[in-house]
């Protein structure tokens, strides 16, 4: 077999050019997202009363690489150890709020010391907002933590209304209207696209749960930023299951068993989560094809459909029975399920969303998951430059509008356009 060296070199050159062009377009796309986020933050800050004075009032003691704390890239962090402290000097402004984004783990306590007064803040969330109250009148405030931590970003604000992007998380729901059980971080933005913003805008109490939390630490920050962007105010919860790629239910089951996770563990998590949050409606992912063939999507959705009725059985997971009591879910919807199909209209502009559609809000929410822009997900949600996606109905494969009623205690849907059909809205 003869090889044409010139032709092979020409093909290799063309391939290198294609790769170079792809990388350049990827860099441009990331840059565009970055500046769009900066622009939105700036607009929000200008509209708010509280001023961001972080740049000229923060000083750091025994902290290396402190300059990273002002960068937007979530992968840049600084490490704060016990003998380190952060100082706030406020000779010109009254400081009322401190907003800290921790990286992966947060300390149990934050110690805030003033000239003549000290206070201890119990930290509960990865993104923490602290209101200083009486300490804000002091000229110097120092911050220490109860354990070694990594900080992604820290902001200091004066008194007034805070910008929209400052996250004031509320505890997980005591009683949820809708429980969204997503497999991975960003699945709730892609395959539940429009659903969570739709019902958040209708003042439904929404709780989000993740079966397999992200392995990459910076993705927790992306996850919280994305949820806050679409209107979720209650802090999400996470199962202890391992995230790993698979292409079938047996493969996903085998991978989880290698990490000492059994199907009984998954059943107990589903049952305890339902008993804890007492939802009317539960939604899950595609149990047949796993949206794009992900075995964990299939397996967790299969378990959700199989064990959802066990939340009324006191023998199953007796510990959660004692702690939360029993609860019966009214409806379970699975993405693309064939039984009792419903089609949601996610392309209607809503006053509660400032004239945007629920689908457009999910597009904004996914823009926070910058690390996932190397996969096919942006094309799925945004389309291409020549064929952009601006409406949910344009997505034909794995449409976020199409759901199936996999389980119900209130009868089948008849109108088939609302997940809360047949439910008493006074519950």
Mean pLDDT calculated for residue range 323-352? 96
What pLDDT score does 215 carry?
82
Q: Report how far residue 301's alpha carbon sits from residue 311's, in angstroms, rounded to the nearest whole number.
A: 16
> What are the chain's domains?
54-158 (2.60.120.260), 178-408 (3.40.50.10320)
Convert the pLDDT of each residue in 193-231 to its tens digit: 999 999 999 999 999 999 999 888 789 999 999 999 999
* Whole-Å CA distances, 397 to 66, 205, 206, 265, 387: 45, 29, 26, 32, 15
Which pLDDT band holds residue 73 (cuts at 50, 70, 90)? very low
pLDDT value of residue 240: 93
Q: Is the pLDDT of residue 91 over 80?
A: no
In this predicted structure, what is the pLDDT of residue 320? 96
User: Model-level pTM?
Assistant: 0.85
Cβ–Cβ under 8 Å, residues 181 and 151: no
Higher pLDDT, 67 or 167: 167
* Percent above pLDDT 70 for the chain: 83
Examine the pLDDT at 263 and tell me if it is beyond 80.
Answer: yes
The answer on pLDDT for 34 being more than 60 is no
Mean pLDDT of 189-194: 96
Q: What share of the chain is helix, strand, coil (3-state, %, to 5)?
A: 35, 20, 40
Confidence check: pLDDT of 61 > 80: no
Higher-pLDDT residue of 119 and 139 is 119
Contacts of 284 (CB under 8 A, 6+ apart): 181, 300, 301, 304, 305, 332, 333, 334, 335
What would the two tokens of residue 381 be? 């949600």
| Predicted pLDDT of residue 46 | 54
Percent of the chain with pLDDT over 90: 57
pLDDT tens for each residue of 267-293: 999 999 999 999 999 999 999 999 999
Q: Distance (Å, rounded) from C-alpha 45 to C-alpha 42?
A: 5
Residue 159's pLDDT is 82
Contact 165, 231 (CB under 8 A): no
Q: Which of 16-25, 51-60, 249-258 has the highest mean pLDDT?
A: 249-258
Contact predicate 186/226, CB 8 Å:
yes
Whole-angstrom distance, CA of residue 312 vs CA of residue 330? 12
């Amino acid at each position: 077999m003869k090889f044409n060296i010139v032709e092979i070199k020409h093909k290799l050159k063309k391939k290198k050019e294609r790769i170079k062009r792809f990388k350049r377009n990827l860099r441009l796309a990331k840059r565009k997202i970055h500046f769009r986020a900066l622009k939105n933050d700036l607009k929000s800050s200008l509209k708010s009363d509280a001023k961001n004075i972080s740049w000229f009032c923060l000083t750091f003691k025994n902290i290396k690489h402190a300059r990273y704390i002002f960068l937007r890239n979530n992968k840049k962090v600084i490490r704060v150890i016990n003998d380190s402290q952060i100082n706030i000097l406020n000779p010109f402004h009254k400081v009322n709020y401190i907003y800290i984004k921790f990286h992966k783990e947060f300390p149990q306590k934050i110690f805030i010391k003033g000239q003549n007064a000290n206070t201890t803040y119990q930290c509960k969330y990865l993104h923490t907002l602290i209101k200083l109250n009486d300490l804000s009148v002091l000229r110097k405030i120092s911050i220490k933590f109860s354990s070694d931590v990594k900080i992604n970003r820290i902001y200091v604000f004066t008194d007034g209304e805070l910008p929209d992007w400052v996250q004031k998380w509320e505890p997980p729901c005591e009683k949820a209207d809708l429980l969204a059980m997503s497999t991975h971080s960003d699945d709730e933005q892609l395959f539940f696209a429009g659903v969570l913003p739709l019902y958040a805008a209708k003042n439904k109490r929404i709780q989000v749960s993740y079966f397999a939390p992200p392995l990459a630490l910076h993705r927790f920050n992306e996850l919280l930023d994305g949820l806050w962007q679409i209107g979720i105010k209650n802090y999400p919860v996470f199962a202890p299951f391992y995230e790993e790629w698979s292409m079938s239910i047996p493969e996903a089951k085998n991978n989880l068993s290698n990490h000492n996770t059994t199907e009984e563990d998954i059943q107990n998590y589903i049952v305890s989560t339902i008993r804890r949050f007492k939802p009317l409606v539960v939604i899950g992912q595609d149990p047949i094809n796993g949206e794009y063939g992900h075995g964990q999507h299939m397996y967790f959705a299969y378990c959700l459909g199989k064990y959802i009725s066990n939340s009324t059985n006191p023998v199953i997971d007796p510990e959660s029975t004692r702690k939360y009591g029993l609860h019966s879910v009214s409806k379970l919807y699975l993405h693309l399920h064939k039984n009792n199909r419903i089609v949601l209209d996610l392309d209607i502009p809503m006053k509660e969303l400032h004239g945007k559609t629920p689908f457009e809000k999910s597009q904004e929410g996914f823009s926070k998951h910058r690390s996932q822009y190397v996969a096919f997900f942006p094309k799925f949600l945004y389309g291409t430059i020549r064929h952009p996606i601006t409406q949910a109905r344009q997505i034909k494969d794995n449409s976020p509008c199409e759901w199936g009623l996999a389980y119900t205690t209130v009868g089948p849907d008849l109108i088939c356009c609302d997940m809360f059909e047949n439910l008493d809205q006074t519950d």
